[in-house]
Structure 1
Amino acid sequence: MTAPTADRSVGVDLTLLALGTVVLLWASAFVGIRAVADAFDPGPLSLGRLVVGALALTVIARPWRQRIPGGSTLSLVVLYGVAWFGLYNIALNAAETTLDAGTTALVVNIGPILIVLGAGLIFKEGFPRPLMIGMLVAFAGVVLIALSTRQDSAVETASTTGVLLGVAAAVLYAIGALAQKPTLAVTTPAMSVWLACTIGAVACLPFLPRLLTQLGEATVGEIAWVVYLGVFPTAIGFAAWAYALKRLSSGQVASTTYLVPVVATAISWVLLDEVPAPLAFAGGALCLIGVAVTRWRPRRAPAPH
């Protein structure tokens, strides 16, 4: 009895470590993207990050030793490779051209609610009242974040566009998480992420000429940020996510990312001297409360003896 208990404890510890890694690295990604927003356009930045990530994952996954899945599994990999690794990154990068890192992280993290909604539609888990109420509360938070933009009309339009791009990124995040979960039954986490990252990079190849131009104009520090984004939030962060997702439900793993906006805001405060407006904090709090409501389950009364 002792050995299985110890093995289970180690497994839980590794899963928690993986989730903590996801939170820290994904939060830092929002800051890194914001730091190079003036040097790289959204598309080229996505391509640069994904190429570096795919190279790093080649070392981690060693794909030549593994079998590439086929059939419906490969179709799902292509789906979340294009949607999550390709389009999501472009939408996220574009959002951060007008929004600070913390606010963007707050908007994108309505994704867990959408994952629960998608699970209800796809896996027939139903739509309990806490889910619907939580969704309304969270979207009210997104509205507050949008209203927190400055009154100057040009800035306000750009910032509102940024919020909409953040919502689009959240939708793509949810699609990716829901599509990835079944693939982990037949492929390893690292291989799953390597395939998706490579597919995402191929989808972004039209941005290659612009990426080469901007790399030639960028500083060493800005290029270092691109390498960081590829190695850490992309390769290591997504591999840690997949490791946890293989062992837990999509909702359990996604719920951990509720901590990302808090960590991203703290990092951006220290490194970039950026703090969301007070109303954005209120909106972010509503987003988090809404997500918490979706996870609420009433306690059942004990059965009478």
Structure 2
Amino acid sequence: MIRLLLVLLMTLLASAAHADELRPGYLEFTQKSEHEWALVWKSPMRGGFTPATSPVLPKACAIKSVTSRAITGASVTTNSIVHCNGDVAGQSIGLEKFDTAQSDVLARVAPLGRPVQALRLTPAEPMAEIRMRPNRWQVASTYFIIGVEHILFGYDHLLFVVCLVLLLNGLWTIAKAATAFTLAHSITLIGTTLGFLGLPQRPVEAIIALSIMFLAIEIMKKDPNKPRLSERLPWLVAFVFGLLHGFGFAGALNEIGLPESDVPTALLTFNLGVEAGQLLVVGVSLATLAALQRMGEAGAARVVKIVTYAIGSISAYWLVERTIG
């Protein structure tokens, strides 16, 4: 168990600098004029992607020139100018040599004068049709899955939820704290995405790391005879930090944009996806704690202590990295 936790610690530290980014690859196809399009291909350097994994454009389109190629974080980003003869509606866009990948790719297609489309590419279905007008089910399913993936692979949000489970006792108490966290991050997510609220992303990410470190310290100082503020008013603590995490969710969502014709649908389903992922994390955490406790209270307490130290170390690293950059 200790070795497993150490492996988890090293894995999370390796991806610490970009803990709040969306993990899938990213393909953006934006129309600039009648015949000219801009292509951005962000290929992760891990997850089974290879240099041979490359965009497949509609039949009427061809790459005219590559304007830049750079390593950004853990991805290689290539910008190209594409020339297209005719309309791309009804044609397909996707990736070739994608079958070895272990992650999805989000394709964003933005034609002039028509709604932006968000398409999800997978190794099983590497091509997707560009429609004249995206239907609501396409938008809903795409953004729901993005929301689930973001809570599961946005490690800072995931660790915050795990800390809530480790800190609090009782399903009802955890449920109230999780509901407060949900309500709070929904407020700032929607407000920021619609342009009513806004904070610089770097300070937000640093404070999110601080929120995780705060909960880790609270877990270590937990005393049944002297409940701390986070135990007496867990919903308040979860709500305050949830407001900040909402800015983080909004920053990730802004990376991919929203389809103009279905903003409410995209926002709602992304948020529902986040909640589905959050409930999954809570359920797995509670089940794991229950299994450990059946093996003995002393052993369970020792594992919780190790996990808490690991989470505290990771969040401290994130705080320093995001502060000094």
Fold-level similarity (TM above 0.5)? no
Choose between structure 1 and 2: higher strand proportion: 2
Decide which structure has greater helix share. Answer: 1
TM-score, normalisation: structure 2? 0.29
The TM-score, its normalising length taken from structure 1, stands at 0.30
RCO (CA 8 Å, sep 6+): is it higher in 1 or 2? 1
Bigger radius of gyration: 2
